[in-house]
Amino acid sequence: MNVSLLQLRAFREIIAKGFSVSQAAETLHTSQSAVSKQIGMLEGNLRLRLFRRAGKRLTGLTDEGQQIARIAARILAEAESIRRVSDDFSLGKQGRFVLAATPAVAQFLLPEPVRTFRSWFPEVDLEVLVVEADQAVQALLEHEADLALVPERPVDTDKVRYHRWTQWKRSLIALEDCSLFGIDRITLQDVAEFPIIAFENKIVSLKDIFSRSGLHPKYALTTSNPEVIKAFVKMGLGVGVVAEPSFDPVRDFPIVARDVSHLVPNVTISIAVPNDLTLRGFMVRFIQLLHPDFEPIEP
């Protein structure tokens, strides 16, 4: 049996592209016929039918194909680890490093660590992939990113380790003449009297916090972007709650802010590291810049 990495990559990409041979060929920068040939050789070498078919169209995986897909993922991950080890020895401080981060983390937490990292490793090709938290972890699982910087634990999987980096308090924001700021100790009931511009994503939900307290305020709108919340608060459409670092009293004037960490839980920002990734030296240094006690565990 002579199964090649090229055949396994073609197999993986067809699955990733929803069983579209043409899209897999585009990703692999080759022709449809070349991808089909690799799949034919793979099935011939294994003496198995890996795909269910409707005529010439692939519609899914057979039972055997599902098992082979899991094994292929492990083999390709190991091959990538071998390549990275080789790069470490041959390229030293050079290489590609992809960080996946949420918009708020990328804007408000990453600049200083990135500045320090660039001074240490100027030859590293650093890319910041800005996506929502669940997409960031998915990028790790699909080997499109090396590390993810995300709030809480957005994906429950044994394929990723989470290391706590920092916490964000929450701030209530409103125009400076808002009557809420005249209250000594604001309650959720007080906030619920005003239209809410709510922060919502798959991980963090302001609506859930109100609902658990039996409150159902009027929501002006919901968004996953703190900059959008501030823009609509400036227009006088309601009040909002944002992570503390995303508010700047000078830049965001005439909005004012007040700590409401007694009402809304802090957000934990974590470093997500895939278990099957062999961390290169510069990746370890970056993680230790954020989490000094980090010790790499080889997959």
Residue 81 lies in a domain: yes
Beta bridge partners of 166: 269
Instruction: Report how far apart the first and last C-alpha atoms of the chain are (Å, whole number).
Output: 27
**Cα(295)–Cα(299) distance, integer angstroms:** 13
Smallest Cα–Cα separation from 65: which of 81, 86, 48, 40?
48
Same domain? 69 vs 204? no
Same domain? 104 vs 226? no
Smallest Cα–Cα separation from 143: which of 7, 1, 13?
13
Element (H, E) at 162: strand 160-168
CATH number where 103 lies = 3.40.190.10
Residue 178 lies in a domain: yes
Beta bridge partners of 222: 198
Residue after which a domain boundary falls, among 31, 58, 86: 86
For the chain, the domain total comes to 3
Residue 297 lies in a domain: no
Q: Where are the alpha helices (DSSP H) in the chain?
A: 5-16, 21-27, 32-46, 63-91, 103-108, 111-120, 133-141, 188-192, 206-212, 226-234, 281-290
pLDDT at residue 61 in the model: 93
**Cα(57)–Cα(60) distance, integer angstroms:** 9
Residue 295 lies in a domain: no
Residue after which a domain boundary falls, among 86, 104, 119: 86
Q: What is the pTM of this model?
A: 0.62
pLDDT at residue 97 in the model: 92
From first to last of its 299 residues, the chain has per-residue pLDDT tens of: 688 888 999 999 999 999 999 998 888 888 888 899 999 999 888 888 999 998 888 999 999 999 999 999 888 888 776 766 665 555 456 688 999 998 889 988 999 999 999 998 898 999 999 988 888 888 988 889 999 998 876 565 678 888 889 988 999 999 999 999 999 999 999 999 999 999 887 777 889 999 999 999 999 999 988 899 999 999 999 999 998 888 999 999 999 999 999 998 888 899 998 887 778 888 888 998 898 877 765 54
Same domain? 158 vs 108? yes
Same domain? 275 vs 146? yes
Same domain? 282 vs 150? yes
pLDDT at residue 79 in the model: 79
CATH number where 50 lies = 1.10.10.10
Domain enclosing residue 73, as ranges: 5-86
Task: Look up residue 214 and give its two tokens.
Answer: 């039996």
Residue 298 lies in a domain: no
